[in-house]
Amino acid sequence: MPWNEFQFWIVSLVALAGLYAVLRPLLPNKKGASPSCPSCTASPSVKKPKLTPLTISKDAKRAGGEAN
């Protein structure tokens, strides 16, 4: 191992920073959100995002002009 080479230490630090950046979304955070749902929180004081209603109806006409 090249322990006394500065390039080794620079590349090692960059590799560790990259590994942290990749694994950070998978790690649990301090707010209580689970790693599988980064936008979800355990705190009830956090508002959930407003969902937009769908604008597609079952009676909508298709491009061919037929309704299904």
pLDDT digits (tens, 9 = 90+) for 2-29: 889 999 999 999 999 999 999 998 887 7
In a domain, 15, yes or no: yes
- The per-residue DSSP string of 1-66 comes to --TT-HHHHHHHHHHHHHHHHHHGGGS--TT---TT-TT--S-TTSPPPPPPPP---TTPBPTTS-
What pLDDT score was predicted for residue 12? 95
pLDDT bin (cut points 50, 70, 90) of residue 43 is low
Contact 67, 61 (CB under 8 A): yes
In a domain, 10, yes or no: yes
Domain count, the chain: 1
In a domain, 26, yes or no: yes
Structural domain for 8, as ranges: 1-59
In a domain, 68, yes or no: no
In a domain, 65, yes or no: no
In a domain, 67, yes or no: no
- Please state, rounded to an integer, the average pLDDT across all residues of the chain: 75
Give percent of the chain above pLDDT 90: 29
In a domain, 46, yes or no: yes
